[in-house]
């Protein structure tokens, strides 16, 4: 087992950035000022599978958006921290409120504002198109870009490290 797999086996909370991780990082504005984001349905299923295996999921994002709150509700994510620039501090606060240590947490981000949280987490994760500094610091890098199934890949990695992926997948073969 690699170091990243060993760390993943003990994860109890996966914390996700939004723009560039759950989305491809692009923000669309409509003519009436509305903001639009596209989320990958495979990422959503990965999150649900991880939750079903007893791993909690949370969101920390630097922007404030009702779209993020809505997607979190759809996925059963109750811990959503929006509008926070210091994501490392937000991660530490999240851990305190959940009675977890940072070693119990994986954090997945894509750019410099995520760097402190990626370094602090027990398992630092990023997307294939994450910034060079983030990819260098991360313990695990997806093969997929943000918004293109990278979160699903991360969920499968954690479930595999916990020896739970085979049984999760087998449940769909019935």
Nearest-10 Cα torsion for 99, 12, 151, 21: 20
Question: DSSP class of residue 98?
Answer: H
pLDDT for position 1 = 78
> Tokens 């851990």 identify what position?
95
d(CA 21, CA 109): 6
pLDDT for position 161 = 97
Domains assigned to the chain:
3-165 (3.40.50.1000)
Report pTM. Answer: 0.96
Task: Count CB-CB contacts under 10 A for residue 125.
Answer: 34
What's the pLDDT tens digit per position in 4-63? 999 999 999 999 999 999 999 999 999 998 889 999 999 999 999 999 999 999 999 999
What's the pLDDT tens digit per position in 76-130? 999 999 999 999 999 999 999 888 999 999 999 999 999 999 999 999 999 999 9
């Amino acid at each position: 087992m690699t170091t990243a797999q060993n760390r993943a086996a003990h994860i109890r909370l996966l914390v996700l950035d939004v723009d560039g991780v759950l989305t491809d990082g692009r923000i669309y504005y409509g003519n009436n000022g509305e903001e639009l984001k596209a989320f990958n349905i495979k990422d959503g299923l990965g999150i649900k599978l991880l939750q079903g295996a007893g791993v909690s999921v949370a969101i920390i994002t630097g922007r404030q958006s009702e779209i993020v709150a809505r997607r979190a509700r759809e996925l059963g994510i109750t811990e959503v921290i929006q509008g926070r620039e210091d994501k490392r501090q937000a991660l530490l606060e999240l851990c305190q409120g959940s009675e977890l240590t940072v070693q119990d947490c994986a954090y997945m981000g894509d750019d410099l504002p995520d760097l402190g949280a990626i370094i602090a987490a027990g398992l630092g994760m990023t997307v294939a198109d994450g910034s060079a500094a983030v990819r260098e610091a991360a313990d695990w890098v997806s093969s997929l870009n943000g918004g293109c199934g990278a979160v699903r890949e991360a969920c499968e990695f954690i479930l595999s490290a916990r020896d739970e992926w085979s049984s999760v997948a087998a449940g769909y073969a019935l």
